[in-house]
Structure 1
Amino acid sequence: MSQPLLSEEIVRPDISHLVLEDGVPVDNFQSEKQQRLLVEPLYSSPVIPPPFIAAANVGIFYSINQDGIAPDVFLSLGVQMPDNWVERHNRSYLVWEFGKVPEVAIEVVSNRKGNELGSKKETYARMKVDYYVVFDPLRQLQQPDEMNGSLLKIWALSAGRYIELTPAEGLSVGEPIYLDTVNLGLTLWEGEFEMVPGIWLRWCDRAGIVIPTGAEARAIEQQRADQERQRAEQAQQQAEQAQQQAEQERQRAERLADRLRAMGIDPDDV
């Protein structure tokens, strides 16, 4: 009779044939910054209850018989980041290890070779990723006869197919698209990130208020602290001015009383 497996003994499929890490990511400056802008704020601001994983350029493998796919950014809720990265199966997102696919996959277009609107979209739909997002900041997917192509397209999975959430005329800067199952929105934001001005893709709340980066949150807190300090200083100045005015009034009253006494008049009788 064979001995039962101990509870800590987990039988894992053989993944030796899978290329989990190729070690040769090549991206442009804009994509690199955009990826960080979509990952870092989720860890810096308490907008999503842990555990969750937000990552950039990490492979997602949903079948041991197929190559994985590495979105520029993905978000998976309710899963814990493995802490032992020495183990090969902990260094990529193996769906059978985490028990679910990510909720959001985001592709940032850097050239016309990525096929973001074709095979990648079909792959994410087959994986049953709730939301697929394509951000085209350099207008690489824009047709030659288009004057103003849409920078952002967002699809939601419905009955195994993607339904586009973004309007046909494109999304305006500051207009949010809310992802219900994630309790977060996405919006185009015009501003400066890491000293680079431009139009960026940002996470936001339902009202379109962007989720701040750690640096932005610290700047906001510093601004609030400065405002509180200024209010305290103004209150102190007002108190000191009131005290000075009271002292001046007292001194005037004493001088008047002295003059009345000099005239033989009791000030208490006036």
Structure 2
Amino acid sequence: MTQELIDDEIVTELDISHLVIEDDTPVDNFQSEVQQRLLVEPLYSSKALPSPFLAAANVGLFYKLKGEPIVPDVMLSLGVQRADDFSQRRNRSYFVWEFGKVPEVCIEIVSNAEGDELILSPKSRQKGKTAAKKEIYAQIGVRYYVVFDPLQQIQGEDEMNSALLRVWSISPEGYTELTPPSGITTPGESVWLNSVGIGLTLWEGQFEEEIPRLWLRWCDRRGQVISTGAERADRLAERLRAMGIDPDEI
């Protein structure tokens, strides 16, 4: 048996029965849940990225066989796609050894001061944790790390430091900040993720309700937001009405 076949056999037979891939832990709050969907759905409905790719929210990212995963609020991985059969445990989470790569982008949406996005919280240190999420993402080679703090929960000098959005890009020395030193603080400001071919911007507006809120959204190189499927449908309906056509009768 060749070494290649031996390696293939080992990878195929990895035992992951000890790994907890679903713990039924609820999302933090309504805003986080809606924000996650706003970052996933437009990528699939808009065709803003070439297929295949995988965008997912609140799914375990397993980067080693032993130990707990890290769970980004949103991740984006290019050149891969989900398997069809979710009855197989190895298809229900993002196992790096199954996909053959780490995601290009991992996004954390801050909902409280205990998330360890940039530094370890006192509670996490008491539990024996040794690395914040930023350190873990850098160690495993995630190209872009994004932290969005819409409610300004972590604003210390070693954290967001008055910014609403900060983005880091991987380098041989670890992460270097891609956003300005002061971060991004104003709706309409954007940052371009060159290796992915898409950007991120702060956007203030109505999404699924009448109350305008501050959101993180994907954008094109000009800073224009990538629309959701519903937004594109609404614009089409408006154009039809302007032409004297009732979209409800089509």
Provide TM-score, normalisation by structure 1.
0.78
Displacement after TM superposition at 1:46 (Å): 1.1
Instruction: Specify every segment of 5 or more residues in structure 1 that has no aligned partner in the other structure, as ranges.
Output: 231-270
Matched to 1:58, the amino acid is V
Residue 175 (str. 1) matches residue 168 (str. 2): no
Counterpart Cα distance in 1 of 2:66 and 2:156? 36
Matched to 1:206, the amino acid is R
Corresponding residue for residue 60 of structure 1: 61
Counterpart Cα distance in 1 of 2:105 and 2:173? 15
Displacement after TM superposition at 1:17 (Å): 1.5
Corresponding residue for residue 218 of structure 1: 233
SS in 2 for 1:49: coil
Counterpart Cα distance in 2 of 1:229 and 1:185? 36
Aligned residues: 225
Q: Decide which of 124, 131, 136 is 2:137's aligned counterpart.
A: 124
Residue 191 (str. 1) matches residue 205 (str. 2): yes
Counterpart Cα distance in 2 of 1:49 and 1:191? 28
Counterpart Cα distance in 2 of 1:122 and 1:228? 55
SS in 2 for 1:110: coil
Counterpart Cα distance in 2 of 1:170 and 1:158? 19
The correspondence of residues 255-270 of structure 1 with structure 2, limited to 5 A, is none
Displacement after TM superposition at 1:175 (Å): 1.4
Deviations 1:41-76 (Å, cap 9, x if unpaired)? 111101111111100000001110231111000000
Deviating more after overlay: 57-66 vs 135-144? 135-144
Corresponding residue for residue 27 of structure 1: 28
Question: Which of these two proteins has the greater Rg computed from alpha carbons?
Answer: 1
Corresponding residue for residue 111 of structure 2: 110
Displacement after TM superposition at 1:160 (Å): 4.5
The correspondence of residues 138-149 of structure 1 with structure 2, limited to 5 A, is 138-143=151-156, 149=162
Matched to 2:42, the amino acid is P
Counterpart Cα distance in 2 of 1:218 and 1:205? 19
Instruction: Specify every segment of 5 or more residues in structure 2 that has no aligned partner in the other structure, as ranges.
Output: 120-131, 246-250
Residue 133 (str. 1) matches residue 146 (str. 2): yes
Displacement after TM superposition at 1:18 (Å): 1.3
Aligned 8 A contact 1:126 1:160 in 2: no
Corresponding residue for residue 11 of structure 1: 12
Matched to 2:175, the amino acid is Y
SS in 1 for 2:58: coil
Counterpart Cα distance in 2 of 1:205 and 1:135? 18
Counterpart Cα distance in 2 of 1:27 and 1:153? 21
Residue 80 (str. 1) matches residue 101 (str. 2): no
SS in 2 for 1:193: coil
Identity of aligned residues (%): 59
State the superposition RMSD in angstroms: 2.3
Displacement after TM superposition at 1:11 (Å): 2.4
Provide TM-score, normalisation by structure 2.
0.84
Matched to 1:169, the amino acid is S
Displacement after TM superposition at 1:89 (Å): 0.6
Deviations 1:66-89 (Å, cap 9, x if unpaired)? 311110000001101111000001
Corresponding residue for residue 90 of structure 2: 89
Counterpart Cα distance in 1 of 2:42 and 2:65? 32
Corresponding residue for residue 40 of structure 1: 41
Counterpart Cα distance in 1 of 2:191 and 2:26? 30
